[in-house]
Structure 1
Amino acid sequence: MNWQAVSFDWNQIRAFLATAEEGSLSAAARALRTTQPTIGRQVSALERDLGVTLFERSGRSLVMTSAGHDLLEHVQAMGDAASRISMVASGQSRDVAGHVSITASDLLAAGFLVPVLKKLRQDAPGIIVDVVASNRLENLTRRDADIAIRHVRPDQPDLIARQLRDARAVYYASADYLAEYGRPQTEADLAKHVFIGPRDTTQMLAFMQDRGVTISPDQFKANSDSGVVMWEMMRAGLGIMVGPDRFWPHVDGVETLLSDAPPITFPVWIVTHRELRTSRRIRIVFDALVQALGGD
């Protein structure tokens, strides 16, 4: 979408962001500790300056337009950056203490979160991070965790969800496996190989079918619902595994296959509850994860 060249008023941007995330002018006013008419004037002024309609008004309800959704993605990044700048400038990050729990799949937790937590320890040493390594969707509304990294968008309206750049998955195999079974040159060659996957292979088979790759359930010779166990079975030479690309550091004896094949991508969502607005420690961890996951 081509936006008009305008000088943004940060108060207008904050009003729009709060309205989008809170769902109403009155809730946005409470979040920003101002009045509903003030929020309404700021949002209307932003619409006027941009020459677009950001919300359709139906009685007391607001429905975001497609232009509003386009703007929201950029504004969220601005809001996160402003929050980080404010915390760094005030030295707040080193003063904040307390527990923050993060849930992610076990493979993601082991391969990606560890280096992020190491940097977070330097930036905010008072924060204690509890990692819930689980492949099931933890319920943030029941406080099973404070922050979740997911591959599907949550449907609970009281959560704050931000979609980051799509992640990439690749085919992994160990050098021992390739020496025994040979190296596939195309995705069609995968029909002759052995795979490692989850115990229920239905989703994996459908995924491969969508890519034009036909494999059978019998090709999955070692299976587990644990991503870490699957990774170790792959390293032992038991089969080919599909796994996230840049979330795991380089490991000797493990190779990625079919680099010329069409990319395998999957969505990444970072989700939290509305305490993000009042809890500095959750905000610090949330922002660190966004930055590490490539949220800009």
Structure 2
Amino acid sequence: MAASIDFDDLRFLLAVAESGSTLAAARRLGVSQSTVARRIAALEASLGRQLFDKRRDGYRLTADGESLRPEAEAVETAMRAFALAADGLSRAVGGTVRFTTNEVMAGLFVPELVSRLKARHPGIGLEVDVTPVLRDLGAGEADIALRAAPPPQQAGLVGVRLAEDHWSLYCARTYAERHGAPSNVEELSRHCLIGLVPDGRHDVAVAWAERHFPPGNVVVRQNSIPSAFASIASGIGVGFYSDILALGRDDIVLCFRPDIPPSAEVWLLTHERLRHAPRIRAVMEETKALVAGRIRANGQ
């Protein structure tokens, strides 16, 4: 019986189990709803077991289905690991690299990274996933991640810490021309200030601002880092900005650096299964050189 199983059917089993319907599973897998239903029926026929109860509100795993689900997940994980390992065997410096980073770093580094790759490694194509979510490199959600975050804890990740992400107080050049730029904490009382809402990642800067920003001077508090940075650049007032992300910008002015520890660290990461693939090494090296060069050029 087991010899007749099409292991690709397990993808359909897991998609329906996770989404609760053949329609949602079809959208996830990029196939028709009838294809999903047919593959589930074929798997049930191969096993001689009913895997789902088909209810009015969707599909629910039967007891047999629940007992087999962990094994199906193990097969999917093993197949993904096999694909990643095979992918890493490629010796040609070419192919697609899936690169993930956040919105602000994408704007700062990706355009020049693409230019460098085009000049030095024209066979490499970059797919950039811009998201605040820390993609799971072990699960194959991306090949390389450039992220401002604590040291990675996930098993199997390899890479390098590129810099500490210190935050300082900045304002737009246009704001400084109109109002001057504060050079110490006492002068903040004469300026419009941009606050941040605690988000669990930049709370050191948020806590400092709560202690030292006069409440009556705070014109806005924001829970979006890109939005807060955009507010500073637009000339609304003075606020915290990442020293790394301020590199090379001539439209904003450093006011002063409070005595606070770094907000995060900038990490460049990949998975150990991919680290020796030529295209991965090439993108990692170009990214390291780009970020290091920016830091040296600006005296950070």
Per the normalisation by structure 1, the TM-score is: 0.56
- In the TM superposition, 1:254-273 aligns within 5 A as 254-258=252-256, 262=259, 265=262, 266-273=264-271
Instruction: In structure 2, list runs of 5 or more residues that go unmatched.
Output: 1-90
Q: Which has the larger radius of gyration?
A: 2
Q: How many angstroms does 1:213 deviate by?
A: 4.9
- Give the Cα–Cα distance (whole angstroms) in 1 for the partners of residues 108 and 274 of structure 2: 25
> What residue is the counterpart of 1:186 in the other structure?
184
> What residue is the counterpart of 2:97 in the other structure?
100
The letter of the residue matching 1:279 is A
- Give the Cα–Cα distance (whole angstroms) in 2 for the partners of residues 127 and 169 of structure 1: 34
1:196 aligned to which of 177, 194, 199: 194
Cα distance per residue 1:248-291 (max 9 Å; x no partner):
454444211126x5476442222111233342111111122223
What is the percent sequence identity of the aligned residues? 23
For residue 165 of structure 1, give the secondary structure of its aligned residue in structure 2: strand
- In the TM superposition, 1:133-212 aligns within 5 A as 133-150=130-147, 151-179=149-177, 181-190=179-188, 193-196=191-194, 198-200=196-198, 204=202, 206-209=204-207
2:129 aligned to which of 113, 129, 132: 132
Alpha-carbon distance change, 176 to 234 in structure 1, aligned in 2, over 3 angstroms: same
CA contact (8 A) 1:154 1:161 kept: no
- Give the Cα–Cα distance (whole angstroms) in 2 for the partners of residues 170 and 177 of structure 1: 16
CA contact (8 A) 1:197 1:204 kept: no
The letter of the residue matching 1:221 is V
CA contact (8 A) 2:167 2:205 kept: no
CA contact (8 A) 1:161 1:269 kept: yes
The letter of the residue matching 1:149 is L
CA contact (8 A) 1:96 1:281 kept: yes
The letter of the residue matching 1:174 is A
How many equivalent residue pairs?
A: 201
For residue 221 of structure 1, give the secondary structure of its aligned residue in structure 2: strand
> What residue is the counterpart of 2:119 in the other structure?
122
Instruction: In structure 1, list runs of 5 or more residues that go unmatched.
Output: 1-91
Cα distance per residue 1:145-173 (max 9 Å; x no partner):
11112221221112214223324433221
For residue 156 of structure 1, give the secondary structure of its aligned residue in structure 2: coil
Alpha-carbon distance change, 251 to 277 in structure 1, aligned in 2, over 3 angstroms: closer
Alpha-carbon distance change, 225 to 288 in structure 1, aligned in 2, over 3 angstroms: same
> What residue is the counterpart of 1:70 in the other structure?
none
- Give the Cα–Cα distance (whole angstroms) in 2 for the partners of residues 145 and 154 of structure 1: 15
Alpha-carbon distance change, 197 to 116 in structure 1, aligned in 2, over 3 angstroms: farther
For residue 170 of structure 1, give the secondary structure of its aligned residue in structure 2: strand
Per the normalisation by structure 2, the TM-score is: 0.56
Cα distance per residue 1:172-192 (max 9 Å; x no partner):
211333355542121343355
> What residue is the counterpart of 1:109 in the other structure?
106
- Give the Cα–Cα distance (whole angstroms) in 1 for the partners of residues 99 and 195 of structure 2: 25
Residue 221 of structure 1 pairs with residue 251 of structure 2: no
1:232 aligned to which of 230, 233, 253: 230
The letter of the residue matching 2:287 is L
- Give the Cα–Cα distance (whole angstroms) in 1 for the partners of residues 206 and 196 of structure 2: 14
Alpha-carbon distance change, 224 to 165 in structure 1, aligned in 2, over 3 angstroms: closer
Q: How many angstroms does 1:116 deviate by?
A: 2.5
Residue 287 of structure 1 pairs with residue 285 of structure 2: yes
CA contact (8 A) 2:193 2:213 kept: no
Q: What's the Cα RMSD here?
A: 3.4
- Give the Cα–Cα distance (whole angstroms) in 2 for the partners of residues 206 and 197 of structure 1: 13
CA contact (8 A) 2:183 2:256 kept: yes
CA contact (8 A) 1:187 1:213 kept: no
